[in-house]
Amino acid sequence: MITGTGITKTYKQRGNVLSGREVKALRGVDFSIEKGGAVSFIGESGCGKTTLGRIIAGLETHDGGEIVIDGVPMSSLKPRKREPYFRRIQLIHQDPYSALNPTRTVHQTLAAPLALRARRTGRPGSWMDERAEELLALVGLDPGYVLPRYPHQLSGGMRQRVVIARALTVDPEMLVADEATSMIDVSLRLGILSLLKDLRERLGVSVLFITHDVATARYIGEGGDLYVIYRGQVVERGQVETIIENPVHPYTQSLLSAIPVLHGLEKPGEQPVVPTAALDESKTDDGCLFARRCPFSTDRCASEVPSLAVTGAFPQEHSCFYPERRSVVATPLEAA
Ligand SMILES: Nc1ncnc2c1ncn2[C@@H]1O[C@H](COP(=O)(O)OP(=O)(O)OP(=O)(O)O)[C@@H](O)[C@H]1O
Ligand code: SF4
Ligand SMILES: [Mg+2]
């Protein structure tokens, strides 16, 4: 199990190192991912999803808060001692082409981590080839076809499967899939999603799925938790089906309003949410971070910070003073 408490991360804004302008990418995020569980992070571009996913995979540092893996606080270990913990969390990112070395065949790509594993566990060399074939078959590829090939000789979907097979070489406990299908041809996406779902069921590997797309989160994270992230903060958290069927935070409601096919949410509402592009980011927010975009904002919202909690008649946690069923619509940017 992996948990995070109060995770914060601030970047100096790109191109603004001298002026010292900062971006608060994460503002105190708590999360918890069970062994074999599924968790999805959704939110609009720039809300901090990738930053959080990279911190969880040990690929990015955080400024504040604590990550605990299997009961061990990572801050209690020297960086070198953290490595075996984070090795069990493998990141699959969106571009499988850049994730693979173009000068290596699939065989060479899988042989490197498998050789390391064989050495660590005292297995014979012959085990590596058998395991490479086994893993490729597990991700739905024909080993005889793909092993001698280079990445450019494979389709995007095949490449992403190779990336997943490589992640499996270390017997991970968790896969962090960051928009893992967004750069793959639409016709091949469902195959990758069902593969991740299948791996979760067959191997008991937990999956953290990062996406803009609620329908995808619902498919892959079936029965798991959904975290709705806005400007580096979780604004709604709970079982994915519960939130999709009955979102209570106006931000979640506006995200869902952009999904035309979900049952019960087809009709866009009347109350427009101000688009992100219209927000002046130099202004500070003393109250709810969503107040300047929210059609339901009151004086209280502008001065008091709502905390993430279960309140009202809804089972999920949310950070809104006025949880309600309502129908809102995200204003298209051109109309702003
Ligand atoms: N290395 C970095 N240096 C400076 N700023 C960064 C860096 N990485 C991310 N940021 C900033 O932190 C914020 C969160 O970025 P992040 O990539 O985590 O968002 P995201 O939710 O993954 O967005 P997207 O959906 O577009 O992938 C953004 O404002 C981004 O510009
Ligand atoms: S607390 Fe107020 S501003 Fe924030 S989401 Fe709820 S109604 Fe809107
Ligand atoms: Mg991202």
Tens of pLDDT, residue by residue over 201-231, are 999 999 999 998 888 899 988 899 999 999 9
What is the C-alpha separation between 50 and 59, in angstroms, rounded? 11
Distance 312 CA to ligand 1 centre (A): 33
Residue 133 DSSP SS3 = helix
**Which percentage of the chain shows pLDDT scores above 90?**
71
Pairing of strands 22-33, 72-73: unpaired
How high is the mean pLDDT of the chain?
89
**Is 127 touching ligand 2 by the criterion CB < 6 Å?**
no
Least confident of 99-108, 127-136, 286-295: 286-295
Q: In b/e form, how buried is each residue of 158-184, taking b as 16+ CB within 10 angstroms?
A: bbbbbbbbbbbbbebbbbbbbbbbebb
Distance 25 CA to ligand 1 centre (A): 7
Question: Given this model, what pLDDT does residue 90 score?
Answer: 97
Cβ neighbours, 10 Å, residue 83:
11
CA 123 to chain centre: 34
Ligand 2 atom closest to residue 323's alpha carbon, by position in its atom list: 6
Please, where in the chain does CATH 3.40.50.300 lie?
Answer: 1-88+172-245
- Confidence band of 268 (pLDDT split at 50, 70, 90): very low
Give the closest residue (by CA) to ligand 1 atom 18: 48
**Is 111 touching ligand 1 by the criterion CB < 6 Å?**
no
**Is 25 touching ligand 1 by the criterion CB < 6 Å?**
yes
- Confidence band of 89 (pLDDT split at 50, 70, 90): very high
As to burial, measured by CB atoms within 10 angstroms (0-12 exposed, 13-18 middle, 19+ buried), residue 149 is middle
What is the C-alpha separation between 333 and 336, in angstroms, rounded? 5
- The first and second tokens of residue 212, run together, are 């803009």
Residue 236 has pLDDT above 70, yes or no: yes
- The residue among 230, 227, 251 whose CA lies nearest residue 40 is 227
Helix (H) or strand (E) holding 188: helix 186-203
Pairing of strands 317-318, 64-69: unpaired
Distance 17 CA to ligand 1 centre (A): 15
Q: Point out which residues pair with 226 in neighbouring strands.
A: 40, 238
Question: Given this model, what pLDDT does residue 262 score?
Answer: 39
- Confidence band of 256 (pLDDT split at 50, 70, 90): confident
Residue 7 has pLDDT above 90, yes or no: yes
* Assigned CATH for 1-88+172-245: 3.40.50.300
Cβ neighbours, 10 Å, residue 323:
21
Question: Given this model, what pLDDT does residue 261 score?
Answer: 39
Distance 178 CA to ligand 3 centre (A): 7
Q: Where are the beta strands (DSSP E) in 130-285?
A: 174-178, 206-211, 225-230, 233-239, 271-273
Mean pLDDT of 26-43: 95
